[in-house]
Structure 1
């Protein structure tokens, strides 16, 4: 009985872990090229100066308006950001 319960628990855990889809976390230096916002969204366009150039800047969504207000254009920051499936990059 214990063995069956343990096996069921492991299989259920694997199944639930696989349903989340691919999630990518990245930590790197970023240079902010541009900031933008709409009614409910805030974002920055930035690039990693170690691996990319200014023309390869990509959009990162910023969830907190207070954080977005502190970010300055043409400045370099060390940050963590994540991406899940087709959702845009998010500052974490």
Structure 2
């Protein structure tokens, strides 16, 4: 009887691993050092210091899918952010807010 739940758990983990692969989400304060976009304006990104870097000087590139959000981000400012990454794809910005701003919609 105990073999069935174990077998179902194993199958579930196998399916999740095969379909999704490694997925990572990070929430941290980011200091934005640069903004850029592709020549055709199809892709936009920000460059920030990686908060998980030991030296604190390693830059991280985060894609911004919403043009309006990208337009409002300012260089040389610190934001509270959530960004995610799936497999070898680039980091993608999920949420961003000004530090200490409790009046934002989340």
**TM-score, normalised with respect to structure 1:** 0.80
Higher helix share: 1
The count of corresponding residues between Structure 1 and Structure 2 is 87
1:28–1:48: 8 Å Cα contact kept in structure 2?
no
- In structure 2, the partner of 1:70 is 72
Q: C-alpha root-mean-square deviation of aligned residues, in Å?
A: 2.1
Structure 1 partner of 2:13: 14
Corresponding residue to 1:83 among 79, 82, 85:
85
Structure 2, unaligned runs of 5 or more: 95-106
**In 1, Cα distance between the equivalents of 2:60 and 2:10?**
38
Contact 2:29–2:78 at 8 Å: present in 1 too? yes
Partner of 1:25: 25
Structure 1, unmatched stretches of 5+, are none
